[in-house]
Chain A
C-alpha cells in the first residue's frame, strides 16, 4: 500500500484565522428588530401561528420542516415520555432537587441530563435503537433468519439486548396501542421499518418474551420518515422535560419530604471502621 505523507506546516493557521471573529451558520439568523429565519423560513411569515411547536423542534433539530401529520404523531410520542410519576429516574431527580429549593430550570436540566441514558429517556436510546434496528433489518433483508440477524446483539440472561424492544421496568408498554391508533387517525401509512419492527416484536415475544416499546415504535417511525439516529437524538434531547417539571411541582418547597431516609436505610458494605496510620 502506498501512503502519501502530506507535509503540513504547523505554523500555518489560516484555517482558524478564517473562522476567527466570524460565525458561519447553516441553520438560521436573527435580523434584530425585523425577523428571524429558521433554515430559510421566516418566523413572521411562515412559522408563528402557521406551524406547530413540534414542527419547529424538528426543524431546528434537523433542518427539515415536516408534515403536520408526522409532527402531531411525534407530539403524541413526547406526551408518552412525559409521565408525571416521580418514580421514573429523571423525575425522581427533579423531585429531589425541588426539595432542595433549586430553580425549575436547574431541576429540569438535571432531569434531562439524567435521561441522556442508554437505558431510557428517548434521546440517546433513540440513537442507539435506530442504529440497531437498521442493522438488524439489513441483515434480515439480506436473507438471514431472525435468529441469524440477532446473532451479533449483546445478550443479558440469554435475551438479545435491542434498544426499543424491552423496558427497564418489566411491564407491557401501554403506549403502543395509542401510537397505532394515532398513526391511523393521522393517516400515516405503515412504513417498511415500522412493519419490520412489529414483525421483529412478534418474533422476540414468542422466543424471549420481549416486545416493542415506545422507543422502538418511535425509532421505526423516525426511520420511515427518513431520520437518522443522530437526528432523532437531537429531536428528543429534552423529551422528558414536561414530566420532570410535574414532579418538581409536586415537591417544590417540601424540604426533606421526598422519600426521607434514615441513616440505616443505606446499607453500608465497605470496610469496618479503621484508624488513620
Chain B
C-alpha cells in the first residue's frame, strides 16, 4: 500500500491488535483454524472458563483470579436488569411494541446507557471521583459533600456515582452493593463507596447503580473506558428481554397519551 508521505498523517499498513491471534488454515489463508485470545486457545477457554472470565480477559488482557471472577459474575447479576422503568429499558420496550426490527432493539437500548446519567460517561467519572477521593476517610468526604450541597428540585448527583433516586437514596442499589461487599474481603473501593453513601444519608443521597459498579470496577482493576462500556454490556440482558417481550404484543399495548394529556405551552412562532 502506498504511503501518502506528503500528508501529516502516516497511516499504518496493517491492522494490529494485542487481543486476538487467528491461526490460518494451511490450505486457505482466509479461514481460521484456531483462535487465541491474549495467548489462550479459545477451545481451552470454552472448556475451562466462564463467560465473565473471557469478557474480563478480552478487556483487561489477563484472566481474573477466582475471587475477582466471582465478584464480576455477581456484579453482572446485580446489573443485568435495570427494570422496566429505566429509560434505556423503556426505549427497548417502546421499540419492541412499535415493530422496530428486532435486531435494533438492543443497540438502541445500549445507546441509552452511553450518557452522563446512569451511563458509561458517568461510570468513567465515578471511577475518577472514587479513586481520587478514596484516600480520605469516607465519612469525612461525605461531610464535605453534605456541607457543599445545594438542594435543587428533582434528582441530582452530589458526586458521580452518588445521587438521589426520586428524592431518596436508592434502597435496592444500597442492598445489592452491601451484598456484593460481603462476598469477599479487601474490596477497598466498594467499602469506601458504601461508607461515603452512608455519610450522604442526611441529604437524602446515596450510592447509585453507577457508583456501585464503578467501585467494583476499580477493585477489579478494570480501566475506566473499558469499565464504562462493560457497564452497558452487563445491563444488556434486561433491556433485551423487556424489549423483545413487547415485540409479541400489538402496538396498542403501551399507552399513547391523548391530546388531553399533552400540554403544548409555547404557542408563539
Measured in the bound complex, the distance between the Cα atoms of B29 and A113 in whole Å is 36
Q: Digitize B87-106: 1 where CB-to-A-CB distance is under 8 Å, 0 elsewhere.
A: 11011001101111100100
**Centre residue among B84, B97, B100, B118 by max chain A CB count within 10 A:** B100
* Interface set, chain A 70-99, CB cutoff 8 A to B: 85, 87, 89-90, 92-93, 96-97, 99
Residue A8 interfacial (CB < 8 Å): no
Closest to A256 in B: B155
Residue B148 interfacial (CB < 8 Å): no
B91 touches A96 (CB 8 A): yes
A114 touches B91 (CB 8 A): yes
Residue numbers in A under 8 Å from B104 (CB-CB): 113-114, 116
Residue numbers in A under 8 Å from B119 (CB-CB): 100-102
Residue numbers in B under 8 Å from A21 (CB-CB): 1
Closest to B250 in A: A156
B101 touches A124 (CB 8 A): yes
Closest to B88 in A: A100
Rounded to whole Å, the gap between the CB of A111 and the closest CB of chain B is: 8
Known: A11-B27, A92-B94, A168-B98. A265 touches B85 (CB 8 A): yes
A102 touches B114 (CB 8 A): yes
B28 touches A119 (CB 8 A): no
Rounded to whole Å, the gap between the CB of A5 and the closest CB of chain B is: 21
Q: How many residues of A contact B (CB 8 A)?
A: 45
Rounded to whole Å, the gap between the CB of A258 and the closest CB of chain B is: 8
Measured in the bound complex, the distance between the Cα atoms of B71 and A97 in whole Å is 30
* Interface set, chain B 237-269, CB cutoff 8 A to A: 251, 256-257, 262
* Interface set, chain A 1-22, CB cutoff 8 A to B: 10-11, 13, 16, 21
The 24 sampled A-B contact pairs (Cβ below 8 Å) are A87-B257, A89-B95, A90-B98, A92-B94, A93-B91, A93-B95, A93-B112, A99-B87, A100-B115, A100-B119, A101-B118, A101-B122, A103-B114, A110-B91, A110-B109, A113-B107, A116-B100, A117-B101, A118-B101, A169-B256, A255-B156, A256-B166, A261-B85, A266-B85
Binding site for A on B (CB under 8 A): 1, 4, 7, 27-30, 84-85, 87-88, 90-91, 94-95, 97-101, 104, 107-109, 111-119, 121-122, 154-156, 165-166, 251, 256-257, 262
Residue A58 interfacial (CB < 8 Å): no
A100 touches B112 (CB 8 A): yes
Residue numbers in A under 8 Å from B155 (CB-CB): 255-256
Measured in the bound complex, the distance between the Cα atoms of B88 and A114 in whole Å is 13
11 more A-B residue pairs beyond the given contacts A10-B27, A103-B114, with a C-beta to C-beta distance below 8 A:
A85-B262, A89-B94, A89-B97, A90-B98, A93-B94, A93-B112, A97-B87, A97-B115, A117-B99, A124-B101, A266-B84
Measured in the bound complex, the distance between the Cα atoms of B109 and A90 in whole Å is 12
B28 touches A113 (CB 8 A): no
Grouping DSSP codes into helix (H, G, I), strand (E, B) and loop, the B interface class, with mixed when no group exceeds half, is loop
B87 touches A100 (CB 8 A): yes
- The residue from A11, A89, A115, A254 contacting B28, defined by CB atoms under 8 A apart: A11
Residue numbers in B under 8 Å from A114 (CB-CB): 91, 94-95, 98, 100, 104, 108
Measured in the bound complex, the distance between the Cα atoms of B109 and A114 in whole Å is 10
Q: With contacts defined as CB atoms under 8 Å apart, how many contacts are there between chain A and chain B in the complex? A: 126
Residue numbers in B under 8 Å from A113 (CB-CB): 95, 100, 104, 107-108
Residue A45 interfacial (CB < 8 Å): no
Measured in the bound complex, the distance between the Cα atoms of B97 and A256 in whole Å is 22
Residue numbers in B under 8 Å from A266 (CB-CB): 84-85
B154 touches A101 (CB 8 A): no
B91 touches A97 (CB 8 A): yes
Residue A107 interfacial (CB < 8 Å): yes
Residue numbers in B under 8 Å from A102 (CB-CB): 111-112, 114-116, 119
Closest to B13 in A: A21
A168 touches B117 (CB 8 A): no
B115 touches A32 (CB 8 A): no
A106 touches B95 (CB 8 A): no
A109 touches B111 (CB 8 A): yes
Known: A13-B29, A87-B256, A256-B155. A119 touches B99 (CB 8 A): yes
Residue A120 interfacial (CB < 8 Å): yes
For the complex of A and B, the 4 pairs showing the least CB-CB separation, nearest first, are A101-B116, A102-B115, A101-B115, A101-B117
Closest to A263 in B: B85
- The residue from B111, B256, B257 contacting A97, defined by CB atoms under 8 A apart: B111
Residue A260 interfacial (CB < 8 Å): yes
Rounded to whole Å, the gap between the CB of B10 and the closest CB of chain A is: 14
Measured in the bound complex, the distance between the Cα atoms of B94 and A119 in whole Å is 12
Residue numbers in A under 8 Å from B121 (CB-CB): 101
Measured in the bound complex, the distance between the Cα atoms of B109 and A38 in whole Å is 34
Measured in the bound complex, the distance between the Cα atoms of B109 and A97 in whole Å is 9
Measured in the bound complex, the distance between the Cα atoms of B142 and A47 in whole Å is 60
Residue A147 interfacial (CB < 8 Å): no
